[in-house]
A and B are shown apart, each in its own frame.
Chain A
Amino acid sequence: MTKIGLEIHCQLTNLESKLFCSCKANYREFGINENICPICVGLPGSLPRLNQEAVKKATMIAIALNCSTPEKIAFFRKNYFYPDLPKNFQITQLNIYGDTSIGGAGSIMVGDKKINITRIQLEEDPGRLIYEGSSSKNLITLADYNRAGTPLVEIVTEPDFESPKQVRDFLNILSDLLENLGVSDPGLEGAMRADANVSIEGGKKVEIKNIGSFHDLEKATHFEITRQESLHSRDIEIIQETRHWDDQRKITISSRSKEEDLDYRYFLEGDIPWVTIDSEIKEKLKSEMPESISSKKERYVSKYNIPGQVADVLSSDKFYSDLFEESHTESNAKEVANIITTDLMGLVDTREKREESKITATHLKDLADSIQSGKISRNSAKNALHEIVKTGKGLSQIILELDLGNVSDESELLGIIQKVISEEPQAVEQAKSNPQTINYLVGKVMQKTKGKADPTLTLDLLKKQLG
């Protein structure tokens, strides 16, 4: 049986500052080595100053993943030399001297499968190394410490996954959860990284490091299973080793480094006193946490009668569910949900498009209300949505400019209907004998009005005309 376990590194990108200093947690907008200070580059004499907000956010993740949380947490030093690590040790957490990591055992359901969480730890991200030069002889390594000290949460799972598909489903759920908590933006480059361990029946555990995105994680596990199965089928022994993910070639490569043999000499970080997170603090945090995705979904279904599938899509995506929450009223909820899931999602289906989109909750509310009051047809609403996303103009202005208002003037509509009746004698006869075919004539009216005819009024008038 295939077994996959994950170690997921998630940056708390929504925090204002780094884990131990006041430099920005969002290092991405800075020039090289411009987001640094004596603390995050580990200058002599500097001391870490724990970001309490990061402790809160990481605890929220632990709670959301149903993890146990100890009353007191501690930080440890993981000692190893590497140029991206300014102090040549990383401040992290572990559970070898008692449960002192921010989250203990927990679990989350992925479909019908329960995935167990081993632990969650809060730690600092190292800097970034940039390699220049072509051959190993003139290779230059440049160090950028803008990222050093960024708050990172490591989520370690049990080897409970049986397929890359399960891994992907889990990652989707996890990124939605993190985004919904407001702790991280999983879409940001480098915000989510992972290591995976993979083993197949009769083989040894292989660790894959350096997987830079969730997308590649599925690919990497898939590649690794295929590789191991191919070895196994040829009776070649699968050795226990560490491999690196090559994201250019999309393969795993045996890593020559003896990383697994490193002795990290873990010991308590004396510069950071133990932090108490007792039940009172935990309850307070719980009350500050945003509503969970599953609870949102339930509410959408039970309160607004929104179909389960629509509610599912709507609740799991923070961008859309936030829009929904801000724009819906008791009466238009279903219509808003409809606009978002059937039209808007198609229009802004990439991160870039979302960011460029000019739509606001007010737009959505106006659209839904206008549809419900018959001011605009669904068809026209779709066109208006296009324009809104592009320009951000108000709905009434767009209706005027693009002439999208419903034709609900009776005499104007009557003229068009009479024209259709004279052009479609055959269909008229048919409709008279079989009233269900009347929709064809309604369609013709819509064609002539470019979809703007008030559908109810059109039907009424048609029926009257046909006798």
Chain B
Amino acid sequence: MNLKIPALEFVQEVKNGNISAEDFVAKTLERIQSVDDKLHAFLSVNEKAIDQARVIDKKVKSGDKVGACFGMPISIKDNICIKDSKTTCASKMLENFVAPYDATVITKLKEEDAIFVGKVNLDEFAMGLTTEFSAFGPSKNPWNTEYVPGGSSGGSAVSVSAFECVASLGSDTGGSVRNPASFCSTVGYKPTYGLISRYGLISYANSIEQIGPLTRTVKDAAFILNIISGLDPNDNTTVDNKNEDYLSEIDSGIEGKKIGIIKEMIGDGIDPAVLSATKDAISKLESLGAICEEVSLDMVKYSVAAYYTITATEAGSNLARYDNLRYGYDFPVEGYEFNSYISKARENFGPEVIRRMIIGGFVPSAGHAGKYFLKAMKVKSKLTREINEAFKKFDLLIAPTVPIMPFKIGEKIDDPVSLFLVDINTVTANLTGKPAISVPFAISNGLPIGIQLLADSMQDKLLLQAAYALEQTVTLPEVPI
């Protein structure tokens, strides 16, 4: 049984009766059993996965209608609610929280007969970019287990990269899908804001984050997008994509497309290996007929500061509900009044979450909002204006997903400021709502490098076509685990 096949191939194989979903899921669970001790991608595994796969095999055999996923085993970041499953956000605060409902993306995947093999690790409440801030321990990079897998959707990237599932759903607030995808050599895609319903995604910074797929191939990402995108009455911020088919015409090529190289994202501090991979990607795109030239987005230099100000503000508010009164962990109320109780109960948050909530209490507060929060909002709108200008001239923008190489676990954990700079190339897509994708492009010294493409709002189809074209230009080695 080859667990390394992409999603679309899996679907075809099950459909044709060449493999059974049950066998594949069983082997996937065995794989998790054998490698996850070393990688720690999973926080929980679905015990009923094999039974669920068996039901799908029966449907295939009897000729009943089968959903588009045909029992495809996928992993779900543990900040997305699956009914009757624990959804912990990798936090002690929600260690025992069992979601009473399905996120919209889960409902849609269930309808298409996907199988959730388990919930995967993340930085607590998705706050981080290494998965080191999980309250249940870090995940490890399958390319070298001494290295971080990126984050916050580290568990998603690891599980796809190490063949513990076929695909995964993560969430991307400032690069949390694209960053680990880049570090683990998978495709990671953040769609246009509003393209995928966030209902059931536990909010960190709700005005800029999106759920996004992590997959082996660009086609797989388009396939999953077809299933999970679209208007949702439960999320007022979703947009109508008129049932766009993102998979059809994916091989349209990029001949004649204008691609802007974002100057501010290949500047100071970029790793030489990353820079050379980026140049290589650009020349490959040019050889396919694209026209590439530099473009400047001046506001990028303030984007990380603005990003942390806005996300901390929203996080401070979004995480306020965790007062342990209605759900949470076991901590009796006797002997406390309200304020002292919640202060005590909320000590169960990890240090990074607490750090961001403290910032989030400060930057939008009366007397400081003008200097911080409102200024950050100004940067956001100026950056949006700049990128909109750029998209008048260019069809796509390009930059490395992360300007530096994956680093060792523990190497930067005590240096939050330097960690924050890892976000410099990814936050722009979130602050402006634009779609962006990380495509695995190179391996340097045994560690992956991803290249990022951005497109204008609702140009996700074009973005996926370009990513597919780029993907076809390289053949990468297999993960060593």
Contact = CB atoms under 8 A, between A and B. Distances in A.
A267 B317 contact: yes
Interface string B252-277: 00000000000000000000000000
A81 B338 contact: yes
A268 B377 CA distance: 11
Contacts of B200: 45-46
B80 to A, nearest CB: 7
A272 B237 CA distance: 7
B206 A271 contact: yes
Contacts of B81: 44-45
Given A270-B206, A270-B314, A271-B206, A47 B87 contact: no
A334 B200 CA distance: 60
B89 A44 contact: yes
B349 to A, nearest CB: 14
Given A44-B99, A81-B320, A81-B323, A49 B313 contact: no
Contact of B202 (A44, A77, A81): A44
Contact of A41 (B201, B203, B326): B326
A45 B361 contact: no
Looking at chain B's contact residues, is the secondary structure mostly helix, strand, loop, or mixed?
loop
B413 to A, nearest CB: 26
B450 interface: no
B236 interface: yes
Nearest to A139: B337
Contact of A48 (B80, B99, B236): B236
Contact of A42 (B79, B233, B316, B321): B321
B236 A49 contact: yes
Nearest to A20: B236
A136 to B, nearest CB: 9
B316 A79 contact: yes
Interface in A70-126: 77, 79, 81-83, 86-89
B355 to A, nearest CB: 17
A81 B327 CA distance: 16
Interface in A34-67: 38, 41-50
Contacts of A86: 321, 326
B236 A45 contact: no
A265 interface: yes
B420 interface: no
Contacts of A81: 320, 323, 338-339, 342
Interface string A235-278: 00000000000000000000000000001011110111100000
Given A45-B80, A265-B316, A265-B364, A83 B206 contact: no
B199 A47 contact: yes
Contacts of B119: none
Interface residues of A, number: 31
A124 to B, nearest CB: 14
Looking at chain A's contact residues, is the secondary structure mostly helix, strand, loop, or mixed?
loop
A273 to B, nearest CB: 6
B87 A263 contact: no
Given A42-B321, A265-B313, A47 B234 contact: yes
A225 B407 CA distance: 70
Contacts of B431: none
A141 interface: yes
Contacts of A272: 236-237
Contacts of B237: 270-273
Given A81-B320, A263-B365, A45 B235 contact: no
A46 B234 CA distance: 8
Nearest to B194: A273
Contacts of A38: 100-101
A141 B338 contact: yes
A143 interface: yes
B314 A44 contact: no
A273 B373 CA distance: 20
Contacts of B338: 81-83, 141
B177 to A, nearest CB: 18
Contact of B320 (A46, A79, A143, A271): A79
A88 B198 contact: no
B325 interface: yes
Contacts of B417: none
B317 A265 contact: yes
B89 A47 contact: no
A263 B366 contact: yes
A49 B233 contact: yes
Interface in A306-362: none
Nearest to A21: B234
A62 to B, nearest CB: 22
B103 interface: yes
A326 to B, nearest CB: 37
Contacts of B203: 45, 47, 271
A86 B100 CA distance: 16
Residue among A45, A47, A50, A265 with max Cβ neighbours from chain B (10 Å): A45
B206 A46 contact: no
B207 interface: yes
Residue among A43, A50, A87 with max Cβ neighbours from chain B (10 Å): A43
Residue among A48, A79, A89, A270 with max Cβ neighbours from chain B (10 Å): A270
Contacts of A45: 79-81, 87, 99, 101, 103, 199-203
Contact of A89 (B101, B234, B320): B320
B391 interface: no
Given A44-B99, A47-B198, A141-B338, A87 B313 contact: no
A32 to B, nearest CB: 14
B129 interface: no
B335 to A, nearest CB: 10
B236 A47 contact: yes
A143 B333 CA distance: 13
A307 B87 CA distance: 69
A143 to B, nearest CB: 7
B136 to A, nearest CB: 17
A88 B321 contact: yes
A265 B357 CA distance: 13
A87 B321 contact: yes
B301 to A, nearest CB: 24
Contacts of B329: none
A44 B198 contact: no
Contacts of A87: 320-321
B16 to A, nearest CB: 37
Interface in B430-450: none
A301 B103 CA distance: 59
B325 A143 contact: yes
A89 B317 contact: yes
B454 interface: no
B233 to A, nearest CB: 7
B94 interface: yes
Contacts of A46: 101, 199-200
Interface of B: 79-81, 87, 89, 94, 97, 99-101, 103, 198-203, 206-208, 233-237, 313-314, 316-317, 320-323, 325-327, 338-339, 342, 361, 364-366, 369, 373
Q: Which 3 A-B pairs have the closest CB atoms?
A: A270-B207, A88-B320, A44-B202
Interface of A: 38, 41-50, 77, 79, 81-83, 86-89, 141, 143, 263, 265-268, 270-273
Given A47-B234, A50-B236, 13 more contacts: A43-B326, A44-B99, A44-B322, A45-B81, A45-B99, A45-B201, A47-B203, A86-B321, A86-B326, A88-B323, A263-B366, A265-B361, A273-B236
15 contacts: A38-B100, A44-B327, A45-B99, A45-B201, A49-B234, A50-B236, A79-B320, A81-B323, A81-B338, A88-B320, A265-B316, A267-B314, A270-B206, A270-B314, A271-B207
